[in-house]
Structure 1
Amino acid sequence: MARQRARDDDAVRITTAAVSHEEDLRKRQKRYLLSMTLRSACFVGAGVAGLAGISWLWPILIVGALVLPYIAVVLANAQANRVDGFQLRSGAFGVPELESAGSAQRAGLGGR
């Protein structure tokens, strides 16, 4: 009985469960769309800066437009991981929780 009570006290937490696949995909699509919008704005801004004669700004915007696709792909492929530092109790997975009838009888618990 004491063993059962000790196990009941160790509740399993689900706060580290990942978000649903659909929600994760939607967030990654939004990040990618935002990055590609910023890239387009960099290209347009570089053209406007070049036409306006701002010779120091347009190369920076072109570099930004060339680097943003890499950043956008990395951010789009990064899956959400939720970690709160909680460690599950260690246990031998695959080991039966209940004792077999033979081991219970040898321990003097069976047949009562």
Structure 2
Amino acid sequence: MKRPFTGWLVAALLASSALCAPTAQAPTLRPTFGGVLLEARLLPGNNASLSGAWSDTGRARLMRCAPRCSVVKSIPLDGPMTISQSSMYRVVLGGTFKPGQRVKVLLRFGQAEMVTLEARVAVR
């Protein structure tokens, strides 16, 4: 006996898992002293933290800047969050970057979920 709703059930499960997967929207990299600052809107999915970031130049620094910047092990994500130069939390990649350069960045959410994104280095 053929079950016509099986395909719809599978499609619904895949769509719901895609909605729960972490993502980063509109990523750009702003030049800073000694590297670049990742600016993006993070949508955490099921995980409640950003626990790591890497590029070809190595591991990025996760920072909490209130009142002064200090390195932290993770950035808590209670919901969608924008990280930028004016936000409390920042992600900074060290190294030498050129304006217009495309950089692949790997983000780790929680202990397992990884997201790869490509960001372009902005002109100062």
TM-score of Structure 1 vs Structure 2, range by shorter chain: under 0.3
Looking at secondary structure, tell me which structure has more strand per residue. 2
| TM-score, normalised with respect to structure 1 | 0.27
Looking at secondary structure, tell me which structure has more helix per residue. 1
| TM-score, normalised with respect to structure 2 | 0.25
Structure label with greater radius of gyration: 1
